[in-house]
Structures are given as C-alpha cells and as structure tokens.
Amino acid sequence: MKKYLTLILTLGLISGVGAAQDAPSPVALRTAILSAGGSPYRLTAGDSIELRFFFNPELNEQTQIRPDGGVSLQLVGEVRMAGKTVEEVLDELHADYSQYLKRPEINLQIRGFANQKIYVTGQVIKPGLVNMPGPLTVVEALGEAGGITRMGNNNRVVLIRSGPSGLPERRQLRLSNHGKATEEAGLILRPFDVLVVPESKIAQVDRWVDEYLRQTNPASTVVGFQYVYNHTNTGIPF
C-alpha cells in the first residue's frame, strides 16, 4: 500500500507530461506479470490459485488464499502462502510433499488476483482505479477507463511503476503506429501501476486559445475580430 500511495503522489509531478504474432497463452501472460520488472509478485489473501501435480493428478486442486493467509491442502494440511512469492511457496510445497510422494513435481498458477488495482488518469473518460482480476494489458486498462478522449494523445501514454529500488519509474508508451497497435499496447501491467494519458498537441493549442484569448481578455478578442472583419470588407490589406 505504501508503494501504491507513492505512485499516486508522483502524479502531481507529471501533470504537465505531454507523454503479426499469435497472442501469448494464459500461462505466458501470468508468467509475464509475475516477472515484469521490479520485485517478484507476492501472493496475498484472496488470490485464487491452482496447484497441479505432474505425476499425481488426483491431488490437483484450485483454491483461494484465506484472509489469514493460509490454505488447506490434501496430505500436508495447512500451508501459509500470503506474503510469499510463487517460487518460495513451491519450494515449501516440494519439501512438504516429499514426505508423501516420490516425485513431487508441482506447478502453481495464479488464476485470479485479489484486491489488485491500477490507476488510470489524464485524458480518459473515466479516470480512477481499475480492478485487476487477472493479467491486464495497457489497452485493456484504458478500455476499462472508458477509453482515451478526443483530446488525449495515445502516442505519449506514461506508465509509472515501482522499480527495483522501490521508487517510482516512468516510461513513455507509444500505443499505435500508422493506425496499427504496437507491442507496447499489449504490455502486461502490474498491480499498482499508474497510466497517465496526456493531452495531444492539438488539444493543448485549443486549450491555450480558450484560456488566453477567450477567457483571459474577452474584450480585446472581440475588438481584434472586429478589426479583421472591417479590413476584410473594405479591401484594406493586413
């Protein structure tokens, strides 16, 4: 939660940012989200997991980590998983099941993430928190936020995430290239990532015109248009 708050606070620092292969398998997506930059993902209460035993399929099961961080498994009983990485849990399970099985080859997959969210802000229709029940790409997250507004720039989307040191790191994403989605558009997000969609250059110009010509001094604007109109109709060159 501390890292998440740190990421949200950094939004204030970037408020002015002007920022055909087959689809990967679900297993590949889960592997990507667990290993993409920063610290390894740690299991938490509410995560849904699936255990598969290569040589003992009768022990296969899907379960959910309880609020107390544990699960109850066949043969070995209670196992605490919350706060541990997938690798750490597998090491413990291998040791536990070695007492009962000759070849305890086990695979653990995360089928659903609990209470994991990302934050989408800037030029999107519905800025705010987006639930992350499983692997989520940049494009999917923007879709959950209602999509980019007509004023948004989809070629300068900024991704902020916690780096290896725990400090926020910024990366600029280009989502389309000549009308085609880029690889960055399919980037798998991590829990507590922040996406910022800045204004396009056209939107910035429009906003400048609105703020400094129409709102700042409307009287001078009217006079200016009147001047242009009069000279145009009298044939006097500018």
Q: What is the pLDDT of residues 192-226, one digit of tens each?
A: 889 999 888 766 656 655 655 555 454 444 443 34
Encoded tokens for 231: 């000279």
Would the CA dihedral through 88, 110, 66, 103 be positive or negative? negative
Q: Which domains does the chain have, with CATH numbers?
A: 2-19+115-199 (3.10.560.10), 45-112 (3.30.1950.10), 202-234 (no CATH)
pLDDT tens digits, one per residue of 151-185:
888 788 989 988 777 778 899 998 888 778 888 88
Taking the CA atoms of the chain, what radius of gyration do you get in angstroms? 26
Task: Provide the pLDDT confidence category of residue 15 given band limits of 50, 70 and 90.
Answer: very low
Pairing, β 194-197 against β 157-162: antiparallel
| Amino acid occupying residue 37 | G
| Percentage of the chain exceeding pLDDT 70 | 67
Dihedral sign from CA coordinates of 221, 222, 227, 228: positive
Q: 168, 190 in Cβ contact below 8 A?
A: no
Q: What is the pLDDT of residue 169?
A: 87
User: Tell me, what's the pLDDT at 161?
Assistant: 87
Rounded-to-integer distance, Cα 212 and Cα 201, Å: 16
CA distance 85 to 29: 17
Q: For the whole model, what pTM was predicted?
A: 0.48
How far is 86 from 17, CA to CA, in rounded Å? Answer: 36
